[in-house]
Structure 1
Amino acid sequence: MDTTKTSTAEVPAADATASRPAFYTAAETAAMLRLDESTLYRHLRRGTFPGLKIGGRYVVPGAVLERLVADILTTGRCIDLGSWTEQWRHDQVAALARAAAADVTIVGGAG
C-alpha cells in the first residue's frame, strides 16, 4: 500500500489535469505560489489576481494558475502580475465577444 502523501502545494504534472480541482482555496493557492496568504488576499481584493469571492471566501480557478504557468514558460521571462491580469481580462472579454458574435443570426439579412 502506497502511503505517500501529496501536498496541496505541489503543482501536478500536465497529464494530471483531469484530477485537479476546478478551484483552489486562497491558502492552497498561496502555498503553490510560495506567497504569504495575506499577499494573495491583497491581490485578490485589489483585482490584480483573478479569483472568485463567494460570501467572505476567495477561491482561485485552477485554469488561471495553469494559464499563468503556461504564459511564464512560453515567454521564458518574469511576468508582472498586474499586467498579466489585465491581459487575461482582455483576452476573456474578447473570447466572450467572439462567442456572442458567432451566435448572432441576422433574420432577413441582405440577400
Structure 2
Amino acid sequence: MRKRTAGVPTYTVPEAAALLSLSQEYVYRLIHADAFPALQLRRGAGQGRYVVPAKAVEQLLDFAAKAGNCVDVAEWVDAWRATSAGGAA
C-alpha cells in the first residue's frame, strides 16, 4: 500500500495478488474472465501487460470489511462498474 500512499494509482498484478492474498495466476484468470477490474496495456495485437487500479483493490477490501459476510467478487465488480465513471477507475 506504500505505492498508493505515494500517489501511484495502480498495482501490478503481483502486487494486487499479494494484497488480496491470492496467487498471481488466479488474479490473471479473474481479469481474463472479466471478473476483476484491470487495464490492459499493449500495442497492436501483441502481448501486453495488465495493471490493476489501486482504487478497485482498496474499495473491494473496504466493501468486504463493511459487509460482514462473504463477498462475491464478480457481483462486486458489476456494482463497482455501475458506480464508476464509464466502468473505469
**What TM-score, normalized to structure 1?**
0.65
Structure 1 gaps of 5+ residues are 1-10, 97-111
Q: CA deviation at 1:17?
A: 5.6
Alignment: residue pair count: 81
Q: Which runs of 4+ in 1 moved over 6 A?
A: none
Greater relative contact order (CA < 8 Å, ≥ 6 in sequence): 2
Structure 1 residue corresponding to 2:31, chosen from 44, 49, 53:
44
CA contact (8 A) 2:4 2:54 kept: no
Gaps of 5+ in 2: 43-47
> Normalising by structure 2, what TM-score?
0.79
Letter in 2 for 1:41: Y
Point out the structure with max Rg over C-alpha.
1
1:30 touches 1:37 (CA, 8 Å); kept in 2? yes
RMSD of aligned Cα (Å): 1.9
Q: Which residue number corresponds to residue 76 of structure 1?
A: 68
